[in-house]
């Protein structure tokens, strides 16, 4: 492989790694926001009768606001939380593979062994 081609692959891969890392950070911030929303909804519905006005909440869905039962809103937010968790796991798995490939392209055995050790899976 030509040195220029190899360096080009390294640069493209490094750029992909940085992009995925930023995506992971953005997803994590969004996940924290949904955690806060779930906790707020739990506090709101803690000691409220199901039929009362306090059992409803207003949520923002894009460009408009909706009034709905707090329990339903909580379920929607928890669903979004699960989707975010899955997306974060996917991004992290991609990152691990890309970091290992980058270490292989750079020819650094130490980095490569560290990257391989990051791919360990729990046996539960």
* pLDDT 10s digits, 61-111: 889 898 888 888 899 999 999 999 999 999 999 998 998 888 888 887 776
Position 106 scores a pLDDT of: 82
Position 71 scores a pLDDT of: 85
Position 111 scores a pLDDT of: 66
Backbone angles phi, psi at 63, to 5 degrees: -100, 5
Whether the per-residue pLDDT at 112 is higher than 70: the answer is: no
Contact 57/43 with Cβ under 8 angstroms?
no
Position 121 scores a pLDDT of: 65
Q: If you search the block for the tokens 């640069």, which residue do you land on?
A: 11
Position 107 scores a pLDDT of: 80
Residue 67's SS3 state is strand
Position 34 scores a pLDDT of: 93
* Cα–Cα separations (whole angstroms), residue 105 to 3, 44, 100, 124: 11, 53, 9, 33
**Cα–chain center distance at 42:** 23
What are the pLDDT digits (tens) for 23-58? 999 999 999 999 999 999 888 888 777 777 777 888
Q: Give the Cα-Cα-Cα angle 14, 17, 18 (nearest 5 degrees).
A: 90
* pLDDT bucket at 1, cuts 50 / 70 / 90: low
Residue 1's SS3 state is coil
């Amino acid at each position: 492989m030509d040195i220029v081609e190899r360096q080009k692959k390294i640069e493209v891969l490094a750029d992909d790694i940085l992009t995925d890392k930023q995506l992971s950070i953005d997803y994590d911030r969004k996940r924290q926001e949904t955690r806060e929303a779930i906790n707020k909804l739990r506090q709101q519905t803690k000691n409220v009768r199901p039929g009362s006005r306090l059992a409803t909440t207003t949520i923002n869905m894009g460009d408009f606001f909706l009034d709905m039962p707090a329990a339903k809103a909580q379920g929607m937010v928890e669903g979004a939380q699960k989707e975010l968790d899955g997306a974060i796991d996917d991004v992290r798995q991609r990152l691990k593979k890309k970091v290992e490939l980058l270490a292989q392209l750079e020819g650094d055995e130490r980095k490569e062994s560290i990257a391989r050790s990051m791919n360990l899976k729990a046996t539960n």
